[in-house]
A and B are shown apart, each in its own frame.
Chain A
Amino acid sequence: MNAAFLLTALMQGLAFAGLGCGIYLSLRIFKIPDITTDGSYTLGGVVTAIGLTAGVHPLLSMCLAVLCGMLAGACSGIIHTKLKVNALLAGILVMTALYSVHLILLGRPNLPLIDTPGFLHDLPFGSALSKTLLSLLASLLLLLGILHYLLRSDFGIAMRATGNNEAMARAMGINTDTMKVTGLALANGCIALSGSLITRYQGFADVNMGIGIVISGLGAVMIGETLFRKGGGRSILRQLLALATGCILFRMAIALALSAGVDPNYLRLITSLIVLTIVAIGQYRQPAAP
């Protein structure tokens, strides 16, 4: 295992921060197991690849990807709140429908990015690697900064109350349906950002890139929580730092497994086993009730 290998895992981890934030929002803040994730992640990649190939500015392509992800999340949210469909089912419906959408958009299962601009291509100095690292790091910090402000704002407190005690939230004048739609839109926007960054990083979009990605996000969230459990309160800042650490460590764990000679075909099996292990550890280390 060499430095380049670790660096790759680090960059993938940074690019996964959006995924982690999205799962954190849907699962931890809103307590909704949102499977739209698999679809919105791919959607982010697909929209980015199409944008870049068509010559749209990379930043604009990325923004479009995020907007499309938000739209997908809002669809799941509306199906869940307005049509009263179980949240899990609503997500699966949207995810399944998106698979066809991706094929229609791409016109084929895979679109390689050939001769498209790299990260920060218009910056006249710096190597491609350092620009990539800088871009990914900046996206992580931006995401964490936005969430840190959002979750402590009055609106954010209302979001958290909606997921924590819905009856109370309604009694406090919060339209919990609107709040859930907004929350799922935000979560899937973050996830689409991840899909967009990964697509640029790996140089192609693929309709299958999102399969099982929700588990990776969950793994990232839970590693962080397991590590940061000891001592101290659970302030928003602490939770977000745990999240960022979890995203990077999770990619490291996967990289470690691959470098140990695990067949890449077993990747999803390994991913599931890693997440299962973390969940099990978490269950056994439940803190005693106060």
Chain B
Amino acid sequence: MKHHILSRICVCCLLLLTSLTACQQEARQTTAVNRLPAIMPDYTGTVLPPNIAPVNFRVLEPGSHFFIRITGAQGQPILIRSRKPDIRIPEKPWRALLEANRGGSIDISVFVKNGNQWHRYAVISNDIAEEEIDSYLSYRLIEPSYVNYSILGIYQRCLENYKETPIYTTTRQDDLRNRHCINCHTFQNHSTDEMFFHVRGGLGGTIFVHDGQIEKVNTKTDSTLSACVYPSYHPFLPKIAFSTNETRQTFHSRDIQKVEVVDFASDLVMYDIEKHEIRPILCHTSQFETFPTWAPDGRSLYFCCAQSVLPDSISDQDDYLAYHYQDIYYDLLRIAYDPETDTFGAVDTVLNMSSRKSSISFPRVSPDGKYILLCISDCGNFSIWHKQSDLYLLNLEDGQLQALWNVNSPETESFHSWSSDGRWFVFSTRREDGNYTRPYFSYFDRSGQAHKPFALPQKKPAQTVGRFKSYNLPELMTEPVGISQRTFDGVITGPAMPAAYRP
């Protein structure tokens, strides 16, 4: 019986080998097409991390048979034969090939049989970086809607494979009192030992993970505009700079940018995780301060700031802003901070964009402190709904502002975060369909050049476009969050500790 099974297996293997060889031979008799094949996602001419999951793709060229050959200067080539245009690259050989060609490049040859003729397209070449990308990506999956207290969650995805697991998801859509939204998941130095996220709605509060403990804090005080909103962990102190924002959202009646999110007021505060204290940093009524971000040395806090356009007498701010939201421009400012004495110093303007009728949002300082990656759009601060929003790089050493033309697209580019070593950054973009955000990664080399980005690899290539969820706030992490949903849920459903306000 055993012999019988063994012989069957041998026959199958032989047939498979024969067909593959025949296919290769057949593919050799090809017509050359002097252009790159159309593939989706676009994994052509980019730089890939050596630890990335296989970049499965769909061949968009018409054909009935597909043959793919992935080769490098080192390592075993990968041969894939498929009757479907979806090409799935086997994980183990892929990993071995990338490892063997670390710092080099790999070539992807695409052969498509259309009718009786095989077509050989120009070889796709991708570089493999020396530096690995942080292994995990966290994001919130949410419909591009305007209010959602039902089914949404913060997830983490291992970039070395396709495993996606929930960090926390809401499941209380039937519980009208306790339905809640979750947002702004943030980590200190890309590690999950120190992290937090906000809970809004029925079970509102901010969930902090600190020193192995989880606690829920109500960061709204009588002296602040709102509960804490946009965060930035201090690089080494148990403190977080937050903005507090009075935010409204309205809709464009016709513009396909759909939603306009506008701040009517915003301030900066500092939250001390251990003392549960909030104290003001900047609270000017005539200015909107928001999007704080620490320099890696912890001695400067960068933030965006706009002049208020609201006259004092205006009570119906929604209507007023219906005509004036386009007049709000944010500049990039910086305030000095002394970690030893815990005191803030002078404020200076780093980049003035309001004079150019443009607006800055989401500044993020690179881990080496040399650059700031930021978004520039036509107005306001909620760049995710502005198609004009693009990524720019500000060189802090020479003050040069450079648009990342090979990274940007005609659609929105918005939230972004650096990897722990600063060699990669991830950003959200709506380049696929204009509505659903997707994370893209770009290699940032030592000379300060950002390279052509690539999409988050998916097991099914169609998922890149097809998923009816937006990837919100992509953040790179060096390790996964180890706390269970149930543990988070226990804290979320419990009482919130009130934060104290210290003027």
A binds B: no
Residues of B at the A interface (CB closer than 8 Å) are none
A residues contacting B by CB (< 8 A) are none
